[in-house]
Amino acid sequence: MSKTFAATLRTRAGKGAARATRRAGLVPAVIYGGNKEPVLISLPIKDTTTKIMAGKFLSTVFTVEVGSEKIRVLPRDFTLDKLDDSPVHVDFLRVTEGSMIRVAVPVHFLGQDVSPGIKLGGVLNIVAHSVFVRCPPDLIPVSIDVDIGGLGIGDTVHRGDLKMPEGVVTVEKDNFTVASIAPPQVDRSATASTPSAAA
């Protein structure tokens, strides 16, 4: 996936101007932050859709080319059309040298095939599919990996158990629950309908 957007400047703000931009087959967007004035831009709808649907859009640093200027940005929010899921608007945060950003990073759980708790019928109960971290833009992790291979039924993974890459810190408190191994569920209806041995 290309990490570059080819953008054009928009001269007008407001809902009417945004609708006109979308009628022209473009996506209205804005770049803000970095102690500079916001920049109104338009993006190609096909390229924008491809980048959003590829995943990890909100945790990827892109370069927006506007004329001869190249602006490093991080997507902060986007809106999709309720009917066809096409992008309606994108907000970008300007990335400046030395800046620290807050971003959600997905959590991947490894070792499910060898977890004693899961082998006994326990279920991995994921409370947080991602955690918020603070880090420089160039150090955004692709994911935070958690090894649950040694967990039994009733064991819990807290934020404090996660190993952060160098330069990355989490926002949540250490006792924040990320996941647990829940006991196997008992089918009470099946148990109730089973005839007793004495019958």
Distances, alpha carbon 37 to alpha carbons 21, 67, 98, 137, 195, in Å: 21, 17, 19, 21, 75
The rounded distance, in Å, linking the Cα atoms of 52 and 131 is: 20
pLDDT for res 7: 96
Q: At which of 38, 73, 94 does a domain end?
A: 94
**Strand order through the sheet with 156-158:** 123-126, 177-182, 156-158
Q: What is the pTM of this model?
A: 0.77
Q: At which of 78, 94, 110 does a domain end?
A: 94
Domain span at 137: 101-182
The answer to whether residues 77 and 109 belong to one domain is no
Task: Name residues of the chain where pLDDT drops below 50.
Answer: 197-199
Q: How does pLDDT run across 77-107, given as a tens digit for each residue?
A: 999 999 999 999 999 999 988 889 999 999 9
pLDDT for res 188: 58
Indicate whether 105 belongs to any domain.
yes
Query: How many domains does one find in the chain?
Result: 2
